[in-house]
Structure formats: structure tokens, C-alpha cells
Amino acid sequence: MRSVKRAGAGALYLLTSVITGYWALRLMFLPLNGGPQSWWPPIMLGASILLLVVGVHVVVPRVQGVWLVLLALAIPLVLCAALLQSLAARCWFFALAVALSTLLVQTIASALKRRELLLPMVSLILAASWVPLSVNTLRLYFAPTTSSPDPMVLLLSLAPWVLIVASVAAGIFVCKSPTSGANGSLSVVALLVVILGSVSASGRVSNRVCWCEVSRRPNISAS
């Protein structure tokens, strides 16, 4: 029964990582009408890759430790080579950041002696990475200066949250154990640390970026 839960959670994580990663890539290449390029979409992409790596571990438990770190290092480099046709310094920096994040979450889970803790940790990291731009999308959509907002655009922009919330719930469900005892308390503390750290970083994101294009028309006063 436990293996069935893990397999279901792993499949959900793989699906969620692919869809959210696709959205993050769209954001990275989205024209911003002359606005500044945000560093937040790469963070979202990194969180999606982290979820993908853990999803592979859930489906194939033998893939763990250094193999997960190497996988997390390879995926961003493959994306850069395929999309940018080069491996610039920023690609290596991004790949190393994702690999170190993978090593960090594994270290925390190993220290708490709860490998299942990887699931809720990475899903919560992904959810926290999506919060700033989702809030900004809602703010811009309902702003009085936005002309003729399209409800379908808003729906498609926020649709990935269904999978994100399902991934968080699946991770907590798999991690939950009736005999967790003290380890269960430590797990909750670790999750709170992850949430607080991620939300703290989210608070510093720029409010100038959204994934639905908003036309900026000059304010022309009547003469």
C-alpha cells in the first residue's frame, strides 16, 4: 500500500514539474514590453527541476544521493544547450544552484532520518516560488488600469496551482506516519523553516513582472 502511494505521488510530481517548468520557461522568454528582466522565473524553473528530481527518486528509489545531485546538475545544462545553443556562465551558475539545493534538501531529510520528508519539502518550495508572481498576476488583472481583462488568461495562468496544491497534499500524505513520534515533530519544524525561508525570499521579488502581458498605455489628458 505504501509503495502504491509513493508511485502515485511520484507520477504526480513528475507531471507537476513538467507543467510548472514549462510555464517558468515561458515566463523567461516572455517579452515584458521594455520592462526589466526578472530573476524570479529562473527560481520557479529551479523549483520545478527540484521537484522533478525528487519525483524520479520517488519512482525509482535506488536513484538517490549523489545521483540525484548529478541529475539536478545535468537537467539545467541540457535545457541551456537545447534552448540557448550554448553553455554560458549563467547556465553553470543556475545548474550549480539547483544541484546544491538538491544536496541541501537531501541533507536535511537524512539528518532527520526521514527520506519521505523530501516530498513535502520540495513541493512547498515550488509552491512558495509561485506565490509572488501569482499574487502580482491577480493584482494586475483586477487593477482598474487594465483594459478588457480576459478571464481565460487568468484561468490558464493560475491553473498549475491545482497540481501544485495536489503535490503538497500528496507529499504530506506520504510523509505522514502514525509512529513518527519525535521525528514527526522535527519534520514539522523543518517544513516550517523551509516555508519561512521561501516566503522571506518571496517578499523581495520585484512587482514589475507578470506572466500575462499587460499593455502600458500613456496617460493622455484632454487638452
The one-digit pLDDT tens for each residue of the chain (223 residues) are: 566 777 788 888 999 999 999 988 888 876 554 344 567 888 899 999 999 999 888 888 888 888 999 999 999 999 888 888 777 888 899 999 999 999 999 898 888 777 778 888 899 999 998 888 888 777 777 777 666 666 766 777 778 888 999 988 888 887 775 544 445 444 544 454 555 455 444 444 444 444 444 334 444 344 3
Is residue 21 within 8 A of residue 45, CB to CB? The reply is yes
**Domain total of the chain:** 1
148 in the Ramachandran plot: left (φ > 0), alpha (ψ -120 to 50) or beta? Answer: left
- Mapped onto helix, strand or coil, the DSSP state of residue 199 is helix
Q: Which residue has the cell 527520506?
A: 115
Is there a domain that residue 217 lies in? no
Is there a domain that residue 207 lies in? no
pLDDT, residue 148, reads: 61
Is there a domain that residue 130 lies in? yes
Burial of 147 from C-beta contacts in 10 A (0-12 / 13-18 / 19+):
exposed
Is residue 16 within 8 A of residue 167, CB to CB? The reply is yes
Give the range of the structural domain holding residue 80, as residue numbers without chain letter: 2-202
Is there a domain that residue 82 lies in? yes
Q: Which residue has the cell 538538491?
A: 102
Is there a domain that residue 210 lies in? no
pLDDT, residue 46, reads: 92
Question: Is the pTM here over 0.85, yes or no?
Answer: no
The CA distance from 99 to 90, in Å, is 14
What does the CA dihedral 37, 42, 43, 48 come to, rounded to 10 degrees? 150
Residue 177 C-alpha cell reads as 506516519
Is there a domain that residue 12 lies in? yes
Is there a domain that residue 163 lies in? yes
Is there a domain that residue 223 lies in? no
- Amino acid letter, residue 83: L
